[in-house]
Structure 1
Amino acid sequence: MNALLGQAWRCPRSAVLVTRRFRVKSSKPPKKPAPRSSKTASDTSVRSFNDLPADEQLRRRLNDRERAQRRTTPSEPALRQRYDEFYDLTKHRLNHLLWELGQWDPEHREYRAFGLHTQESYYQEISFFKEALKRSFHLASALGMTSRTDNPLFWNLRSAFIKGDAAGLTKELRYALQTFLMRKQFSKSTTELHLRLADLRFPYEWFPATRQLQRTIHLHVGPTNSGKTYNALKALENAKSGIYAGPLRLLAHEIYTRFTAKGKSCALITGEEQRIPEDADMFFRSCTVEMTPLNWKVDVAVIDEIQMIADEHRGWAWTQAVLGCQAKELHLCGEERVVDLIQELCARLGDKCIVHRYQRLNPLLPMEQAVGTDFKNLQKGDAVISFSRVNLHSLKAGIEEATGRKCAIVYGSLPPETRAAQAALFNDPNNEYDFLVASDAIGMGLNLEIKRVVFESAFKFDGMAHRPLTIPEVKQIGGRAGRYRTATDAVRSGKEEETSATSAFSKWGAPGFVTAMDDQDLGVIRKHLQNDAKPIAAAGILPPSHIIERFASLFSPDIPLAFVLSRLREMARLSSSFNMCSFGEHLDISDVLKEFDLSIYDRSVLLTAPVSLREKGQKDILRAFAWSIANLSGGHLLEIPEVDLEALDVDASQLDPQGQKNYLLRLEGLHKAVTLYLWLSYRYRGVFVSQKLAFHVKSLVEEKITNCLEAADYEADKQQRRREMLRRQAQSHSKKEEKLLGAEAEEAPVAESGPGLWDAEGHEEPLYREKREVNAALPVRARRTTESLDSRVSRG
């Protein structure tokens, strides 16, 4: 991190040299600095602004800002008020963070790890940090310095708040405080070593065996229902060996089923399940993208939904597959907006790139009118899209009650087998399942015979906040209407030539249609369908485990791994083609694991575990499994009380509707726990020894989940009010930054934007003169404690 404080502390020359290429230069050449006694006038005259000492650069930049402020007066009263409100919120979250950390104690492990060995040092360092925080907000409010380069502490706090609200702000404050406390331990040589280990500009060098191959990369791009994945899979089928890697377990299941139906030996490899053919030495592999085998040479590999290479959370898996897959032919399927990035990567890798562009096989049209709240307006083959798991069940009940026909249901947290069964019911034209309610999971390549996509809302909750749907999301989900050919048809056709249209196309012979339930949402949907998304500029990466291990070895064992990861994130230097993926879930997991005696390797493995800590009870599950790994025992499924096996004994038919909903959540929590157990059983076979039992429990849970899908009710007025509230919350969130923080956050370049130092020149100057100034900066509780200690010392 660039000293976190930016101009509140003077940055050393080493950090300035790392970041200077991204600084905005003045249109006028800088004045030549006065010659110093140790330099001749001729030496000084040729020095550029970037070659000046860091403190001189800082002084000049501040003077320029002050002059610009006097000319243009950017700090309007309204803007100052917004920054003051944000400052008040930040101080409140800091006090809450200090309360969570607890009072100073000689046995406090975290305080000791960060060098706070006395209570006086604790109060002094907290006051220093609060003063630094105050200065960073003064730079933003008084001088308008809000960029990542000029005021990184403010920039990071603002970005964290925008992305994660108060919780995200608290996390960033915690890391900022920890980095501040560690500033004296980071000497210049230590920081230079950190920078060398965190140099991630050349991730393709992590795969030396792949770099020895001359690969041909076929990039298949086009809208949904254009045949791009179909053509890529044909190349895979005609090869002797190959890999399919997709974003969902259900997609991996579909390709596995397709290949086995055609008599081809195929393995299914996901994080939680592995089906390896026993009667074949050579076989295809269908896997989720995180499980792509990188040490296996094949003729053809297909990587689906390549645009997810820029995903904030999972993009690293696509990047890893593209850079490391040892395939003679690598077929990438995705959207047009990824072309420039892939071509740039191929140029760096020395691989040949061939772009295949496709047009949609049948048109996709937005409708003029919304469906409305009367489900009788729905037509056979409609898919209603919603983004709330509970709301999906309510919609299902309402549609079945209004139409008298059956409605299938598909959403992300359903087990893949259950989702596949529901999709098969909807795709089968010879039954009474005329409708489908689904989440955005169908946008990830899930093949369904949909005539019309109906958006229940144009807004969604993404785990952090309510927001409008993006252009790619609308096009991906809406494009599922009027599918030309599905994997189900491929399975049915067996070895037959696949030139016929899908049954969906044959039935309707018309374009796919997209609409919404409300006119307000339909306007948003129509606008997104008519516009193009911005090109993808960078691929996501995460540091591999061997870099995390080496980087963590430079810190004391008592230092929390969350701080090590945050330090690595901020120290990382990236090229313009790569972005760092989010560390959010990793940091949460590392906080849960800090109480256990685990090696860095074990912690690195668990960082990528399929666990959602936001779900009720999942933290306790993770702690139980971590305890088993740390003690190399207690891994039998029946020995882990946190796994709620008692849920299998409940008779759902005896529960009221609300009780059945709660029971469904309980079953899904149990399914997540068993899924995590299976994931660990492939990595710690000697600890988690109940794999067969876990598979049996998993099947029982999935059966009960299927039985619970029918229990739901629907109230039209309640759902209408919910949609209106969702719109208001999403619109409020989109205006949050403008309302509270003023101008739009600067998207500063992150390439090679390395950090600065807390112990920069000038830090030795005290931030206070008298002890009462320190006490004035402390929370009331801490102030009383200090005064009490002082009085006892004076009496003693």
Structure 2
Amino acid sequence: MPLAVRRGGLCAFCTFRASLAHSANRPNPPNQQNGARHLSESGLQIPKTDADFPMIRRMPGGKRNRIESNRSYGFDPELRDNEGNPRAGRAGGRRQQGPWTGSRRNNDTIESRRLRAEGLVKPSETTYGVFGRLLLEQVHRLEFTLKYKEKVSVQAWGIKTDEELDKKLNFFRERLKACTELAEKGKVHKQDNPLFYRMRNAFITGGMAELISEMKYSFINEVITANFTKHHQINQEKLADLRYPLEWYPATRALQRTVHLHVGPTNSGKTYHALQRLEAAESGIFAGPLRLLAHEVYARLNAKGKKCALVTGEERRIPEGYDNTMNSCTVEMVPLNCKVDVAVIDEIQMMGDTERGWAWTQAFLGVQAKEVHLCGETRTKKIVTELCAAMGDKLVIHEYERLSPLKTQTNSLGKLENLEKGDAIILFSRVAIHAMKADVERVTGKRCAVVYGSLPPETRAQQAALFNDPDNDYDFLVASDAVGMGLNLSIKRVIFESTSKHDGVSFRTIKPYEIKQIAGRAGRFKTAQQAIDKEASNDTEPLALDLVKKPTTNVGYVTTLTRFDLGVVREAMETEVEPLSSVGIFPPADILFRFASYFPPKTPFGYITLRLHDMASLHPQFHLCRLKEQIQIADLIQEFDLSIMDRITLMSSPASVRDSGMIDVVKSLAQCIAEKRKGALLDMQCFDLELIDRNIHEDVDGTKGYLRKAEALHRAITLYLWLSYRFAGVFTNQALAFHVKSLIEEKIDQCLGEVSWTEAQRKTRNFLRMKAVKAAAKEDELAKAAAIGFEADEPSAAPEQDETELETDQDDLERSYHGEYGDLDNATANPAREGDIESKTAEAEVTNEEGHDSEDSPGSDGMIPTTPEELEEEFEEIGDGFQSTEEPKSSAAVSKTRNLDD
């Protein structure tokens, strides 16, 4: 859900705040807890159109389904004559009220009085009541979907007529009303009000999309569970008992393994020593987080005479004379049924990841190796020690120090003119990356390499090689946090352009361990190419794992582009990261298969998966990984006649349904599997293969539009290749797909060399981000104040240094916007213009698409985040502080937290 500033009754998001962000402006602060505050007359919300709520007024400027507040707009029919008049004030027909927007003149409008008279809105309604009305509105949407789009599925649940469906929906409405009433009385926790808790939690974590999914799941659950016998329920509960994942791998438990845990900061040599042991073994497995790293180890072992196969989701490389003894693979592809001497699992701290953690846990618990070498951060020691004790494995811990010192600079970079050879600038938006590349090359006159998640691994490796080569003019690197894993780069200094990113729901400050992971790339001891080209050395005994190479005199540096973010980085670098408390797991396919057998054949498979997750019982050492895009994929392919295992396989594919074109690709591929017909690549219209023959300069969207299309086509071809190994009889054009993939990579390389992006887009994103961070800090202070029972009198905004920082170069910022959007004041005063700003900046928020994701994960790509739509109108104007180089006054980190229980 987009981040919004909370005003009384403006947005249902304020339902989840323990206090009101603008409470300082109200004469009577709320005294209700858990957000159950009364709305003032000025905070009344108006529902959208439907049979029960006929009074509608949509937000001007194309706002997306936002409930409007009388307080912010003061609507009066007599003011409509002024709409469209640029001198009539904000939004044309809105009355200018001055700083006190809660005046009685604004409150007692004709519309608000009529709404109260008709009983559509109660003057004493709480914000939980507002959210309850939002839930009832979604029931109407669900009713339309079930009646006209999913009638076959509804009949499979035993509902044969529309009248019977209406009866079930009415009962569900009453359940929602009852749970809302409980919430208004302060009962919002899971044990007291489970239905409301699930709805609320879904809305907080995933916005409207997650709420709609949870709404559908809850209704199906109400209908289907009523038909279960007690015997079926008992069997489902047994299958959902996931407390003992150690028992899922009985063959491995029969072995007596020795686990070597290599822990230390980035660039400490831990992976180097583990690979030395792998090279000395007769048989072994390397498991890395990315295809790029698997490629690197594959090349390294074969260069040293070890016949090694490459095994990733969509590629298999088997060397001549291979005897099935050595494999380099992505962590999802670790073979669990073959016995080897040594297994090396890199980045073991990823076990705690909420999306891909299950793959590392599965590899660690299930690999059949005499020696298991785990490489990762120090925070994994506690949980690995506990797991080894539970499994009966011997544990040996090896601790390392950095091979080169890492220092945090006292000043931010300030100006791009201060860049030096070997600098890497880290950003979290693809558009911002290209804009920064253009700026750097324009200011410095040197070339700049580019690395980010949605680039093909081969392109990333090529860009890394250009940056590492000292004999060319590629002096700088502009990258996303994709550099945190899988790439060894000759970086002298890491410069964070930002310390917050959009995670698909809101802006959040990146976590200390993420900052350390990225910052650790500075002062690298050895590059990837040097590791491959260097001949086998005998100066280190393979078994002497604690023998560390002599540290170098190279010093790595870390800083930020602006002073605004420097305090966050400095504090993160000094913070001791908390140890992992649990590791991720995912129900194995056989458990999901057996669980699905208890449901009618046409039951939505997405519901079955959610039902298993909802019923799952877990040990405190484990947590269920989040269902990222699996449910959306399951819903997309529900219409096709697929077996349960085929559905499980497609749900696990690297399909990113965030791309509109990918939806058609997934459906077409699923149809081929269901009909068991040849999926010839050239016959499938969902693949825009004509893009390859098109000139990158002749695309209707320009060079950057061509780049986006090429990246989307590359992901689609990657999905085809992934499925070609699972359904070899259906997708037979594997060789052609590899050829098309290489052609697309050439086009992407060509685009990267010629694409240009505007500096205004990057600054716009930075402008919005800083305002969001300031608002988050205000929320945190208010939430903390409410937690101890009082309201903050004057909530401060973010760290102390921010006030002066954000006022710097305001005039310059507005001038930079003028060429793209016109004057900021006029733009924000005009709703149509404001909507234009949002549409132009929306693409600037494509953040961290694959920071550490592999193409083999169930949902390897993050959702495209949306631009926070309320920022321009809700925040006071601030500057971006682009030129500041002074030392910050405070190092307090700015973070945004969401308390789901308050």
Q: What's the TM-score once normalised by structure 1's chain length? A: 0.80
Q: What residue number does 2:287 align with?
A: 245
Distance 2:616 2:36 in 1: 37
Q: What residue number does 1:78 align with?
A: 37
Q: What residue number does 2:594 align with?
A: 550
Measured after TM superposition, the shift of residue 198 of structure 1 is: 1.3
Matched AA of 1:450: I
Distance 1:497 1:527 in 2: 41
CA contact (8 A) 2:425 2:495 kept: yes
Matched AA of 1:622: V
Q: What residue number does 2:498 align with?
A: 457
Distance 2:623 2:35 in 1: 34
Q: What residue number does 2:6 align with?
A: none
Does 1:122 find its partner at 2:165? yes
Q: What residue number does 1:204 align with?
A: 246
Measured after TM superposition, the shift of residue 119 of structure 1 is: 3.0
Measured after TM superposition, the shift of residue 737 of structure 1 is: 9.8
Q: What residue number does 2:737 align with?
A: 694
After TM superposition, list the pairs within 5 Å mapping 1:464-543 onto structure 2. 464-497=505-538, 509-543=553-587
Per-residue displacement from partner, 1:565-593 (whole Å, max 9, x unpaired)?
Answer: 11111111111111111123111110011
Does 1:393 find its partner at 2:422? no
Q: What residue number does 1:343 align with?
A: 385
Does 1:269 find its partner at 2:307? no
After TM superposition, list the pairs within 5 Å mapping 1:574-593 onto structure 2. 574-593=618-637
Distance 2:730 2:724 in 1: 7
Does 1:89 find its partner at 2:134? yes
Per-residue displacement from partner, 1:327-355 (whole Å, max 9, x unpaired)?
Answer: 10001111111111111111111111112
Per-residue displacement from partner, 1:144-191 (whole Å, max 9, x unpaired)?
Answer: 222222222222222211210111111111111111122311232221
Does 1:224 find its partner at 2:266? yes
Measured after TM superposition, the shift of residue 310 of structure 1 is: 1.4
Query: Which one of 97, 100, 109 corresponds to residue 145 of structure 2?
Result: 100
Measured after TM superposition, the shift of residue 495 of structure 1 is: 1.6
Change in 2 beyond 3 A, CA 1:735/1:610? farther
Matched AA of 1:518: T
Q: What residue number does 1:422 align with?
A: 463
Q: State the aligned residue count.
A: 664
Q: What residue number does 2:12 align with?
A: none
Q: What residue number does 1:413 align with?
A: 454
Q: What residue number does 2:320 align with?
A: 278
SS in 1 for 2:37: helix
- Please say which of residues 664-673 and 115-124 is displaced more in the overlay: 115-124
CA contact (8 A) 2:284 2:341 kept: yes
- Please say which of residues 295-304 and 184-193 is displaced more in the overlay: 184-193
Does 1:706 find its partner at 2:749? yes
Measured after TM superposition, the shift of residue 684 of structure 1 is: 1.0
Distance 2:733 2:781 in 1: 53
Does 1:254 find its partner at 2:213? no
- Please say which of residues 578-587 and 120-129 is displaced more in the overlay: 120-129
CA contact (8 A) 2:404 2:551 kept: no
Change in 2 beyond 3 A, CA 1:76/1:640? closer
Per-residue displacement from partner, 1:633-690 (whole Å, max 9, x unpaired)?
Answer: 131111111011110110114458x511111111111111111111111111111111
Change in 2 beyond 3 A, CA 1:85/1:223? farther
Matched AA of 2:621: S
CA contact (8 A) 1:467 1:734 kept: no
Q: Larger % of helix: which?
A: 1
Distance 1:665 1:76 in 2: 42
Does 1:327 find its partner at 2:369? yes
Q: What's the TM-score once normalised by structure 2's chain length? A: 0.71
Q: What residue number does 2:443 align with?
A: 402
SS in 2 for 1:725: helix
Matched AA of 2:664: D
Query: Which one of 464, 474, 484 corresponds to residue 443 of structure 1?
Result: 484
Measured after TM superposition, the shift of residue 739 of structure 1 is: 8.5
Does 1:609 find its partner at 2:653? yes
Matched AA of 1:685: A
SS in 2 for 1:78: coil
Q: What residue number does 1:57 align with?
A: none
Distance 2:250 2:677 in 1: 37
Query: Which one of 603, 615, 619 corresponds to residue 663 of structure 2?
Result: 619
Per-residue displacement from partner, 1:265-314 (whole Å, max 9, x unpaired)?
Answer: 11111001110122131542111000011111111111011111111111
After TM superposition, list the pairs within 5 Å mapping 1:708-727 onto structure 2. 708-727=751-770
Matched AA of 1:646: E
Q: What residue number does 1:594 align with?
A: 638
Change in 2 beyond 3 A, CA 1:740/1:167? farther
Change in 2 beyond 3 A, CA 1:86/1:180? same
Distance 2:779 2:217 in 1: 24
Q: What residue number does 1:139 align with?
A: 182
SS in 2 for 1:401: helix
- Please say which of residues 677-686 and 149-158 is displaced more in the overlay: 149-158
After TM superposition, list the pairs within 5 Å mapping 1:152-231 onto structure 2. 152-231=194-273
Per-residue displacement from partner, 1:435-487 (whole Å, max 9, x unpaired)?
Answer: 00111111124211101111111111223432211111111111111112233
Measured after TM superposition, the shift of residue 220 of structure 1 is: 1.0
SS in 1 for 2:753: coil
Distance 2:730 2:238 in 1: 37
Distance 1:332 1:94 in 2: 49
Distance 1:515 1:689 in 2: 50
Distance 1:414 1:433 in 2: 18
Distance 1:460 1:499 in 2: 42
SS in 1 for 2:140: helix
CA contact (8 A) 1:312 1:540 kept: yes
SS in 1 for 2:478: strand
CA contact (8 A) 1:447 1:480 kept: yes
Unpaired runs of at least 5, structure 2: 1-30, 39-124, 542-548, 788-902
Matched AA of 2:373: H
CA contact (8 A) 1:82 1:739 kept: no
Distance 1:730 1:591 in 2: 35
Unpaired runs of at least 5, structure 1: 1-71, 745-796
Per-residue displacement from partner, 1:508-545 (whole Å, max 9, x unpaired)?
Answer: 94421111112111222222222122221111111111
Per-residue displacement from partner, 1:678-723 (whole Å, max 9, x unpaired)?
Answer: 1111111111111111111111110111000023335445422321
Measured after TM superposition, the shift of residue 137 of structure 1 is: 2.4
Measured after TM superposition, the shift of residue 141 of structure 1 is: 2.3
Change in 2 beyond 3 A, CA 1:733/1:177? farther
Matched AA of 1:380: K
Q: Once superposed, which parts of structure 1, at least 4 consecutive aligned residues long, lie more than 4 Å away?
A: 72-77, 497-500, 505-508, 730-744
Change in 2 beyond 3 A, CA 1:378/1:595? same
Q: What residue number does 2:418 align with?
A: 377
Distance 1:272 1:319 in 2: 22
Matched AA of 1:591: D
The sequence identity of aligned pairs, in percent, is: 49
Matched AA of 2:674: A
Matched AA of 2:720: Y
- Please say which of residues 93-102 and 303-312 is displaced more in the overlay: 93-102
Distance 1:97 1:539 in 2: 35
Per-residue displacement from partner, 1:385-436 (whole Å, max 9, x unpaired)?
Answer: 1111122122112111111111111111111111111101111111111000
Measured after TM superposition, the shift of residue 134 of structure 1 is: 1.9
Q: What residue number does 1:661 align with?
A: 704
Q: What residue number does 2:153 align with?
A: 110
SS in 2 for 1:319: helix
CA contact (8 A) 2:403 2:552 kept: no
Distance 1:636 1:87 in 2: 50
Distance 1:291 1:396 in 2: 35
SS in 1 for 2:754: coil
